[in-house]
Chains A and B, each alone.
Chain A
Amino acid sequence: MAFRKNKKSEEFLRLENLIEKDRLGTTCDFSTLFKIDIENLFSEYCELSDKPIISLTREKDTFIISVTVKANRIKTFAVSKN
């Protein structure tokens, strides 16, 4: 039987965040800060069309971090040799 997925309430999303934090062993603000930093970093190189999607999972002793960034345009710039 296929169950209907309930629309996730605000409380449920809070639980999801909490469990994610428990799994990673990080503080509450880690994900938010990480997302902001990644966004800032990619904004230097591309014109982002959307916010980056970051997924962090832990498998035993390894963290798997995948970042999906959508951009409208790659910025062109030259690097000064001096």
Chain B
Amino acid sequence: MARKIVFTSGKGGVGKTTLVSQIGRKLASLNNRVLLVDADFSLNNLDLALGVENFVVYDLFDVLSGNCRIRQAFIKDKYEKNLYILPSDKLSANSSFSAQNIKTALLGVSKLFDFILIDSPAGIDNGFKRAVLCADEAVVVINSSFESLRDADKVINIIKSYDIDKVSLILNRARGDLMMSGYGVSAENVKDLLKCSLLGVVPDSDALLTLDGKKLSRLSSADKAISMICNKILTGRGDIYDPTLKYKGFFGSIKRSLRKSN
């Protein structure tokens, strides 16, 4: 049976969809069979993040409405043969279906995959509830902004009230230069503040911002961070990427001051 992990956040725009797509690709490249589900019904972008937006014929709404079988709605990723996407493409689906409907649909294909990653909408409305209740584990994506941290705390409490005990955090777009200067929130402070385990830290990276559905460069720091996250998902332990590393030492201080002047 597949491990069902929902990626959520309180605040929007923290990078959930990008992370789901890249973590999915990385897990698939490590020989895991992965299904990505876009549960963000009305503001769906998972298809775009993976560059398959032109291949959508059926979507989750069609599956739930009985217009097609679930496998007919799957789209195979362009880069990873073990990665499939179940897109969501219709506005009208927003209020029609419950978490139980999606859960039942996913149960039928659960044996075919090792991981089912669910991209949840931001906020704590019905869409969020629907996405979270389909999963056994939750990952709350945050960035260093105080708004994101405050919202994440509320989201974590709600998820725990649904009896999902395995909740972890990914600190996205972490600025190592700011952390070194004492301005940014450090990963350790975040962990303490939100009283939640840290699955990983992803640095602020141009490589992620300019993806446009393509594969992430193996040379990028974001790729390294995502590999470490996948290792932690697979084994339950491992290191966490340290975004301050390249800002340490003499050359690091030059990099910091250059970044500050930008």
Contact = CB atoms under 8 A, between A and B. Distances in A.
Contact of B150 (A3, A6, A7, A18): A18
A23 B153 CA distance: 8
A4 B186 contact: yes
Given A3-B242, A60-B161, A22 B182 contact: no
B244 A4 contact: yes
B41 to A, nearest CB: 28
Given A11-B146, A15-B150, A3 B186 contact: yes
Interface stretch (B20-28, B187-195, B253-261): B187-195
A12 B242 contact: no
Nearest to A7: B182
A78 interface: no
A75 interface: no
A8 B184 CA distance: 10
Nearest to B241: A1
B5 interface: no
B185 interface: yes
A9 B240 CA distance: 24
A5 B186 CA distance: 6
A7 B194 CA distance: 17
B157 interface: yes
A60 B161 CA distance: 8
A16 interface: yes
A24 to B, nearest CB: 11
A2 B189 CA distance: 12
A19 interface: yes
Contacts of B188: 2-6
Given A1-B242, A23-B153, A16 B193 contact: yes
A5 to B, nearest CB: 5
Contacts of B146: 11, 15
Contacts of B192: 5
A12 to B, nearest CB: 7
A19 B182 contact: no
Contacts of B161: 60
Nearest to A60: B161
Given A15-B150, A22-B150, A23-B157, A9 B183 contact: yes
B154 interface: yes
Contacts of B187: 3
B229 interface: no
Interface of B: 146, 149-150, 153-154, 157, 161, 179, 182-189, 192-194, 239-240, 242, 244
Interface of A: 1-9, 11-12, 15-16, 18-19, 22-23, 60
